[in-house]
Amino acid sequence: MNIALIAHDEKKPIIISFAIAYKQVLEKHSLFATGTTGKKIGEETGLNIHRFQSGPLGGDQQIGAMIANNEMDMVIFFRDPLTAQPHEPDVSALIRLCDVHQIPLATNLGSAEIFIRGLERGDLEWREIVKKKKESEQ
């Protein structure tokens, strides 16, 4: 599965801790991240992560393009709802794309832990069926 890891600045320590705690699950999948988040997670965990631009420089949109092309299976995005973000329209667009394309989106530690446990159990295998169906329609 392709999994995107994104975190606003104030949430980066939490996503790093999350990646450390669930490294054994995450390392079995293809990981993608916005610039600084991916760099920090990679440094702390040794996980192989494809890094895009930082969020404000277009990283959110790069991940959004993968979602629109049916190339992303899950997004873990630890948002900071208490701090104004200069790229809030990009964040809103990313969330909208997840909803449009039925991509599981965790926006906090609680939902991310539920998703990662489901991933570990195989609960997200339906994504493979969706991908094959969309490929056959093209």
Catalytic residues: 60
SS (H, E, C) the chain: CEEEEEECHHHHHHHHHHHHHCHHHHCCCEEEECHHHHHHHHHHHCCCEEECCCHHHCHHHHHHHHHHCCCCCEEEEECCCCCCCCCHHHHHHHHHHHHHCCCCEECCHHHHHHHHHHHHHCCCCHHHHHHHHHHHHC
